[in-house]
Amino acid sequence: ASTWAKVPQGPPDAILGITEAFKADSFDKKINLGECYNTPRPAPLAEYDHVRVGAYRDDKGKPYVLPSVRSAEEKVVKNRLNKEYAGITGIPEFTKAAAVLAYGKDSSALDRLVITQSISGTGALRIGAAFLERFYPGAKKIYIPNPSWANHGAVFKDAGLEVDKYRYYDKKTIGLDFEGMVADIKAAPKGSIFLFHACAHNPTGVDPTEAQWKEVSAAVKDAGHYAFFDMAYQGFASGSTDKDAFAVRYFVEQGHNICLAQSFAKNMGLYGERVGAFSIVAADAEEKKRIDSQIKILVRPLYSNPPIHGARIAAEILNDPALNKQWLAEVKEMADRIITMRALLKENLEKLGSKHDWSHITSQIGMFAYTGLDAAQMDTLAKEHSVYATKDGRISVAGITSDNVGRLAEAIFKVKG
């Protein structure tokens, strides 16, 4: 028998099924809000569709490369730099600037911060998980919100952590189950690890308010828990990189020595370049040195050192004042387009005479929206209206355009009323 005769067939990616159904639909006004492709793509690219789940699209439904990224890339190419290896923790001009972006330029964390470049946000989460698995003094178990980004569970489990869930989303209100969340934080054994989405919670689009974050911080502190932040959408949620970093900065101010996974996939549109960072706030300079040595020992056998091109682009954008200003405006533009599409969808539903309360569409934030439609309704949406999205009722707002928002509202109205 073949060596691999006993390798079982794995289940397909949930998003892939939507792609298949979408592709097979011959209606020319079909809409894909599962993974944001509204236009047929050439065969060699279509193969990768399933991994491009949460990508921003412009108002024509097309992938978008930020003009600031184009300029930064041209600068990088013009500099004709060599292709030598970066250090194990990456390019310092990039990681230093990434730390300032996340924690703020006056943060007390900067002097005692251990930071390493990572293979985007996923790689940052994985390094963090591996570090916790190796050194966390308490239970090697992480609590993630219910629901959470589908890959969180897999990343943490594969790194050897146990995964549990805390209450987060309330189906009835299509909002935050704040009381459940705080109760679960309080009920967990002292010294537990909690993962928080810093902003633009994926998949629900439901974030705690600043006042609620303050209560969460207090509950985490009282219980002696450890906070792990995943910030994959800084700037993308509100349009302001400072506002979106509120939770991270507030926790640090309150004395939490957090760890943080950062991604530049969405806010710089650098998806395939895989630019990210993982950082740990150490207690002091001496602790920082010890942690840093162990991060290097951990990363070296994983991939030796990270790729340089994307990080050079991000470093240009973060360190060149003119490019930085341009980028911040472009991030805001992307966030604003999404906010506008949310408002238009709600407005259209109301104009059609829908009696449901659609305020969650505009109160939610970021790339995704939970419509509150159930699996059967999502099925009807696909079968009768050629609108494709995941069965949990999540739609990618990035896939909505001025052109298709009217038809989308009609379809939802017909299905839900």
Active-site positions?
Answer: 149, 230, 266
Q: What secondary structure, in 3-state letters, does 376-390 show? A: HHHHHHHHHHCEECC
Answer yes or no whether residue 279 interacts with ligand PLP by CB under 6 A: no
Which span (7-15, 114-122, 138-146, 373-381) binds ligand PLP, by CB under 6 A? 114-122
According to the binding rule CB under 6 A, does residue 276 interact with ligand PLP? yes
Contact flag: residue 34 with ligand PLP (CB under 6 A): no
120 binds ligand PLP (CB under 6 A): yes
Contact call for residue 116 and ligand PLP (CB under 6 A): no
Q: Which is nearer to ligand PLP, 104 or 203 (CB)?
A: 203
Is residue 197 at the binding interface for ligand PLP, with CB under 6 A as the rule?
A: yes
Phi, psi of 369 (to 5 degrees): -135, 135
Q: Which of 68, 122, 390, 396 binds ligand PLP (CB under 6 A)?
A: 122
**Is residue 364 part of the contact set for ligand PLP (CB under 6 A)?**
no
> Which region, judged by CB under 6 A, interacts with ligand PLP, from 115-123, 252-260, 296-304, 345-353?
115-123
Contacts of 250 (CB under 8 A, 6+ apart): 210, 213, 214, 217
Residue 263 touching ligand PLP (CB under 6 A) = yes
| Per CB under 6 A, 265 contacts ligand PLP | yes
Judged by beta carbon, residue 116 or residue 122, the one nearer ligand PLP is 122
Nearest-CB residue for ligand PLP:
121
Q: Count the site residues for ligand PLP by CB under 6 A.
A: 12
Interface pattern 216-255 for ligand PLP (x via CB under 6 A)? --------------x-x-----------------------
Query: Which residue is associated with the tokens 């990224």?
Result: 69
Q: Is cis: bond before 208, omega within 30 of 0?
A: no
Spell out the long-range contacts of 220-224 with Cβ–Cβ below 8 A and sequence spacing 24 or more: 220/185, 220/194, 220/251, 220/256, 221/254, 221/255, 221/256, 222/186, 223/185, 223/186, 223/188, 223/190, 223/191, 223/192, 224/190, 224/191
CB 170 within 8 A of CB 137: no
Cβ atoms within 10 Å of 211's Cβ, excluding its own: 8
Q: Least distance to ligand PLP from the beta carbon of 414, Å?
A: 30
Could you tell me the two tokens for 333?
A: 């533009």
Distance in Å, CB of 263 to ligand PLP, minimum? 3
Residue of 61, 52, 50 lying closest to 21 (CA atoms): 50
* Choices 79-87, 117-125, 159-167, 304-312 (CB under 6 A): range interacting with ligand PLP: 117-125
How far, in Å, are 80, 99, 117, 229, 327 from residue 322 at the CA level?
A: 21, 19, 24, 29, 9
Under the criterion CB under 6 A, does residue 121 sit at the interface with ligand PLP? yes
| Contact residues for ligand PLP, defined by CB under 6 A | 54, 120-122, 149, 197, 202, 230, 232, 263, 265, 276
